[in-house]
């Protein structure tokens, strides 16, 4: 299974904003965007002052790359998501974001069972999460309305999940999901609407990128 294994803080600095790839660390002064708010690389600091007006292609490319990095999706898989979204009824950009939001690792993150999407992906890969009472280790599995996502009973005894219960009440779960803190399980109520997706993405630029 292909995945990015390099330093994730470089990805945030390249996009010029926080992508929250390290969870709570991104909210502290240790965040690399706070400490070094310029692109990575040998000439990142000096090039930030030399750039002129960004071309339309560059804006479209950067938006596509940002979406990929936020959800932890590789290029080929992202292309498949876009092709699938373009075949569905409605707005292609919204269809794409709704599909990405319905990934199992993203749902685990949205429910508050992980501090970041990479951590949620790891929880799924290590077999701690069940989908409809069946163990799954596929982070890209797409949930549907009515599906139940829960922590395996064997994993509930782990220190991580014991400590998690004490802090879950402070987390806000999107309205398209529910969460029961007692047994660490939740249900998918409906497909997320555009206003439920609180990521600073302009999906129209992604559509324009693939429409060239």
Q: Where are the domains of the chain?
A: 8-100, 104-187
Residue 207 has pLDDT above 60, yes or no: yes
Tell me the mean pLDDT in the region 21-41: 58
Q: Please give the pLDDT value at position 96.
A: 97
Residue 151 burial (C-beta neighbours within 10 Å; 0-12, 13-18, 19+): buried
Taking the chain, what is the end-to-end CA distance rounded to the nearest angstrom?
29
d(CA 128, CA 104): 12
- Which option is the CATH number for 8-100: 3.40.50.2020, 2.40.30.10, 1.10.760.10, 1.10.1050.10? 1.10.1050.10
Predicted confidence at residue 199, as pLDDT, reads: 87
Question: What letter does residue 16 receive in the DSSP assignment?
Answer: T
Joined tokens for residue 147: 């599906």
Torsion sign (Cα): 103, 106, 110, 111: positive
Question: Quick check: helix, strand or coil at residue 119?
Answer: helix
> Which position has the higher pLDDT, 64 or 168?
64
pLDDT at 22: 57
- Using the predicted structure, report yes or no on whether residue 94 has a pLDDT greater than 60: yes
Query: What tens digit of pLDDT does each residue of 68-77 get?
Result: 988 999 999 9
Mean pLDDT of the chain: 84
Q: For 130, list phi and psi in degrees, rounded to 5.
A: -115, 145
Q: For residue range 161-199, what is the model confidence (pLDDT) as tens digits?
A: 988 888 776 567 899 999 998 889 999 999 999 999 988
Q: What integer pLDDT is reported at residue 200 of this predicted model? A: 87
pLDDT of residue 172: 79
Whether the pLDDT of residue 38 is over 70: the answer is no
Strand 148-151 to strand 185-187: parallel, antiparallel, or no bridges (unpaired)?
antiparallel
49 falls in which pLDDT band (50, 70, 90)? very low
pLDDT tens for residues 108-147? 999 999 988 999 999 999 999 999 999 999 999 999 999 9
In this structure, are residues 21 and 11 in contact, taking their beta carbons and an 8 Å threshold? yes
For the domain made up of 104-187, give the CATH fold.
Answer: 3.10.290
CA angle, 88 as apex, 82 and 92 as ends, to 5°?
50
**In the chain, % of residues over pLDDT 70:** 74
What 8-state DSSP symbol labels residue 121? H
pTM (two decimals): 0.82
């Amino acid at each position: 299974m292909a995945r990015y294994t390099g330093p994730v803080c470089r990805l945030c600095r390249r996009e010029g904003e926080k992508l929250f790839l390290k969870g709570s660390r991104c909210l502290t002064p240790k965040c690399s965007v706070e400490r070094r708010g310029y692109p990575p690389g040998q000439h990142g600091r000096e090039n930030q002052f030399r750039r002129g007006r960004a071309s339309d292609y560059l804006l479209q490319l950067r938006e596509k790359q940002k979406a990929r990095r936020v959800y932890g999706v590789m290029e080929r898989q992202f292309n498949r998501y876009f092709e699938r979204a373009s075949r569905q009824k409605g707005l292609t950009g919204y269809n794409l974001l709704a599909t990405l939001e319905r990934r199992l690792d993203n749902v685990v993150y949205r429910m508050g069972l992980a501090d970041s999407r990479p951590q949620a992906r790891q929880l799924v890969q290590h077999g701690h999460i069940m989908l409809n009472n069946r163990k799954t280790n596929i982070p890209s599995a797409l949930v549907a309305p009515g599906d139940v996502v829960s922590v395996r009973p064997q994993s509930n005894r782990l220190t991580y999940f014991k400590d998690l219960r004490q802090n879950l009440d402070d987390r806000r779960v999107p309205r398209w999901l529910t969460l029961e803190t007692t047994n660490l399980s939740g249900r998918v109520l409906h497909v997320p609407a555009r206003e439920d997706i609180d990521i600073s993405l302009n999906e129209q630029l992604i559509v324009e990128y693939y429409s060239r």
